[in-house]
Copies of this chain bind each other. A is one copy, B any other.
Amino acid sequence: MDLDQAARPAPRAPRMSGDQRREQILAAAVEVFAEGGYAGTTTDQVARAAGVSQPYVVRLFGSKQRLFLEAYRHTMERVLGAMSAVEAGPGAVERTGRAYVELMADRDLLRVLMHGFTAEDPEVTALARHTLGEVFRLFRQRVEPDDPDGDETARRFVADGMLINVLLSSDGFAHVGEDAGFDALLRCFAPEVVAAGTAAAGDHAGATA
């Protein structure tokens, strides 16, 4: 009994290759940073989410800041990768739009991206600006290059993207039926979601307005 309970030193998780662990921790970091941002997240939270100890996280990445930078870069590459994968040609505008919308499936991605814009660290904000610029550029080069309205179309695309990011970051799609004005805005994007949401909410809605 004593041998069974006390002597057992907690069934340690199996070892993993360093690279695997790095990827795992990075994935956990994206998840946790998406929620709390840089300052609002502890290395311990990341460690727990990844199932390792806090000091190990710090040692693997050098510092919290570097961990965040790597997580951010990781995010950036996935976003830009998705946009780069769209081939040019007729209908490219619509297909690029769909590519961005599909990014919403992983809420964390665009939320981390968002934290980059409001970050304090100049290195992070520089990455964030670069990402935004690349999104613009990638879209732009898929529009007829000599279309005089191309810049305008691309700017609108980026602007809509930022609105989506904001809606996602503020968890807007999960708070339908609480604010009339906000619902109206949401309805522009997903009328069916709002219709279903307001019907379902109705009772517990505090209707801020």
Contact = CB atoms under 8 A, between A and B. Distances in A.
Contacts of A137: 180-181, 184
A130 interface: yes
Contact of A126 (B134, B158, B208): B208
A76 B183 CA distance: 18
Interface in A155-209: 155-156, 158-160, 162-163, 165-166, 169-172, 175, 178-185, 187-189, 208-209
- Chain A contact residues, majority secondary structure: helix
A140 B151 CA distance: 25
A135 B179 CA distance: 12
Given A36-B120, A130-B208, A152 B188 contact: yes
A61 interface: no
B37 A134 contact: no
Contacts of A184: 133, 136-137, 140, 151
Interface stretch (A11-19, A22-30, A94-102, A110-118): A110-118
A49 interface: no
B39 A179 contact: no
A48 interface: no
A171 B133 contact: no
20 contacts: A36-B120, A37-B118, A37-B120, A38-B40, A125-B171, A129-B170, A129-B172, A129-B175, A129-B182, A130-B179, A130-B181, A130-B209, A133-B179, A133-B182, A136-B181, A137-B180, A156-B156, A158-B185, A159-B162, A165-B166
